A and B are shown apart, each in its own frame.
Chain A
Amino acid sequence: MAEYNRPTSEAEFQNNFKQKKPLMNPTEAFYESARCLFCYDAPCIKACPTHIDIPLFIKQIQTKNTEGAAQTIFNANWLGNTCGLVCPTGVLCEGACVFNHQNIMPIQIGRLQNFATHKVIDSGKEIFKVGKPNNKKMAIIGAGPAGIACACELRSLGYQVCIFEAKNKASGLAVHGIAPYKISNEEVLNEISYLQNQLGFEIRYNTPINSKEQLQDLEKNYDAIFLGLGLGKTGALEIEGENKKGVIGAVEFIEELRSKHHHLKVPNKVVVLGGGNTAMDAASEAAKMGAKKIVLAYRNSKEKMKAYKFEYDFAISAGVDSLFNLVPIGIVGKGKVEGVKFAKTELIEGKLQTKNNDVFVVQCDLVIKATGQAKQGAFYQLIDHLKCDNQSRLLINKETFQTSNPKYFAGGDAVNGGAEVVNAAYDGKMAALGMHQWLTK
């Protein structure tokens, strides 16, 4: 049973969605940074997908060179501020911090990172330099973390950059998908403006690229193209009643939540389908929006869930109930959703079997499908010689990030099938270097 009051104002919304990693104040940053041991060949650096020189930036915070700390962070990761707040640090840098070996709280690397970058972003102080113009032009499709990181790196190498973005905001799932208690829209978008103001890449909003003609145009007018489209909408379950009113994809639900805040009405009884991090987020968010009974339903056992344990624990602490080993076989209700019909499942000889004789209905007013986002397969077919794997993930050269069509490079969710912002940020930067190498060799 969740016990959040339904938020009726922005203030109540913010109160329910309190930041998990609030901005550190100078005193906290001072004490926390003093704890870091400045390890040699530090394991935290290795555990960061972008290999930020963590002991260095922490020492810079300690010596009051906060701007230098931010510089160190951005040098490795163009979305350093967002990452400080949204990275699953417990399984990345902080999980690797040596203090864990003595059961001492690891250094709060994410929050220290946010402390330094937030401060320079707030000050507006310019710390980046645009590269010497080389009169070459690059196109980027998708202004998500991967596209933005790619644009920044390309600008510092001297390329002209234009990003084509389908929506009216930059930063992709960072602003549309990530849970509001991890980061506010403002915090995400401020970082993007900070980068854009200094590096001067162009973003064309509301400009989806979805035809062969558009792509041919880009190929003609640009020297290389980066694909940072991320993933698509929530995929279909292909079960009876799926189109009833009250059934929504998790990504769509969260996107609406992030833009409407307290104006979004979430009913009392919610079923969330899935066992990944998106399912955990959607369930926690439904609870914080005032739903009373939220049931998280996963087809396999608890141990098999893909979600991080801390995300599951967070949902449970928000008042979410969970059911395991059951699969939805139909949505019931007259016109609109009234419940989900489940069948029990069982693991027999390593294979998950549905027991069609063991069926029951869980009552609800809203069903959130967090069963995976569709890939951008249809789009990729518009591009000649572009190869994907059997799950529609773009295939790339792991060093250069070049796709099988040499003019195209790619990174982020489109390539990894859905990971974290930090992976997209790394890919975007590396792809830019790959593009640069290709064009200069």
Chain B
Amino acid sequence: MALLICENASLGYEGTPIVRDLNFTVEAGDYLCVVGENGSGKSTLMKTILGLIPPLSGAIRTGDGLQQTEIGYLPQQTPVQRDFPASVREIVRSGCQGRMGKKPFYGKEEKELAERNIARMGLEALADRCYRELSGGQQQRVLLARALCATRRMLLLDEPVAGLDPKVTAEMYRLIEELNKKDGITVIMISHDLDAALKYADKVLHIGSTVFFGTKEDYLKSKALSGLTQEVAE
């Protein structure tokens, strides 16, 4: 059964749709890449999946026992936290808040989970460092470790490599691929880096003036086709 089912969903803010009649499903173990131009509604889709905003019509449902609050999420970098005094460990641990419910303090289980994910992201040496003094790539790994504390099954990544240099970008893609292939975590990644999408993902969702959902192979074919028709038209 699918982990995520999107049925005839229209997405947008305050009654104004940005994406219309969207249909797709995400199966366990998938690596789905969401591509489209700036402003086409990729982040809006992500917020709707997470339940931060409601769909205007239609529905996005979770399946196979996945709770909506069990989805780990890596936000698009915001400058909000730039001045925030917080250590790496404090931030990673805060990823456990959702599963803790009303419990006020971290128990042994949460602390161990946080340490495991700090190690998984190679952050042991930085655990007591201040988040705002880290490089962009290190900050992304911290937020990824936090997301891993919130989920065992599904990760949503909004432009995880934006603003990173090529070497760190490659490292980030390698980490994400490892989480998908080795740990079996389902990945939904937003990107406007089409090359990377086609290199790592096995399914593609293209939103914008044309909507496409299918396997990577089909996407390449349809792109080649539309490229051809465009050339003919010109």
Are A and B part of the same complex?
no
